[in-house]
Amino acid sequence: MDTFLDFGIELNGDESSQPMVVITSAEGLSVGQALERILAQAPDYDFQVKSAHFISVAPKRMRSDPADLLNLKVARFDVEGVQSGKILTWPESVIPELMRVMYPDKPGDPQAVHVYMGLGVSIGPLVTLHLRDTTVREILDAVSIETEIGALKNGLALGWLSTMEHKKDLTPTLKWQLLTTAPGNWKQLRTDAHTPTP
């Protein structure tokens, strides 16, 4: 059953600073029409369809802003059988270029210790990717798209949310979270997928 969507969403500012949107009825609307109605109320944002199940949402200006960390260039990205949740919630752990920019005070310091506290490390299917001349955003999107393969059989497909928080007198902080959606009958679909056929 192909009835799920996942998103990669970039927010500039914390969630409370985002515009409030209202959609009174989505009945009879396509997903594209519903998204167009929502984003008409948030004109600084746009969406791009990246696969049959994955949609990227971001501030228009951030997609081309070289200062945006999601546009950081990555020459090589290679992972073999890595937990998708780990990549989506702690991407700097597998993207050295991002680690160096996020923690410039300790670049390449073997004594530096980075501790991650979160559930994402053990969530989601394992992914294998080999990307060249890419960006952080493209890596996150590719990981999410990889989780579509066998979704509901091997666990839910995963999306991502990045939030750049701008707190007064502090360096902006980048935070990562997982997003996932599933059809209303996901339990039945999962049961059917795990029921042996005679």
Residue 139: C-alpha distances to residues 23, 160, 168, 191 (Å): 31, 11, 30, 31
Highest average pLDDT, of 117-131, 137-151, 177-191, comes from 137-151
Q: What is the pLDDT of residues 62-76, one digit of tens each?
A: 999 999 999 999 999
Question: How far is 192 from 190, CA to CA, in rounded Å?
Answer: 5
What mean pLDDT comes out for the span 112-133? 74
Q: What is the pLDDT of residues 155-194, one digit of tens each?
A: 678 999 998 876 666 666 788 999 887 666 666 766 665 5
Q: Which residue has the higher pLDDT, 137 or 187?
A: 137
Report pTM: 0.81
Give burial (CB, 10 Å; 0-12/13-18/19+) of 14: middle
- Whether residue 83 has pLDDT greater than 70: yes
* Pairing mode of beta strands 45-49, 54-59: antiparallel
> Among candidates 130, 131, 126, which has minimal Cα distance to 147?
126
- Whether residue 111 has pLDDT greater than 60: no
pLDDT, residue 103, reads: 81
- Yes or no: say if 182 and 153 are a contact pair by the CB < 8 Å rule: no
